[in-house]
Amino acid sequence: MTQEEFLIQHLTEDKSYQSILNENKGLELPKIQEWWATGTELRNKIKRSNALFSSRKGKPAFTAFEQAGFLRVVP
């Protein structure tokens, strides 16, 4: 698992540190704590992306892209 994969799972899939550690047996808590501490820029990009996606979801242009098959929305 990479820092990016960890941050995406933790921030977008709402996975806890413990569930990520359980799924990735070679990974240890100090490593993901380090990734969190050093991943400020990436965390902010992910948060902005989530906010942008949420603000556009349900609008006509978004729906058109979804219906055309360009987007796959995962609940």
| Average pLDDT of the residues in 33-46 | 93
Output the pLDDT for position 46.
87
Residue 74 pLDDT > 70: no
Output the pLDDT for position 72.
61
21/32 Cα distance (integer angstroms): 9
* Kind plus residue range of the DSSP H or E element containing 62: helix 60-67
Output the pLDDT for position 48.
86
Q: Which residue has the tokens 């219906």?
A: 67
Which is higher by pLDDT, 40 or 63?
A: 40
Whether this model's pTM surpasses 0.75 = no
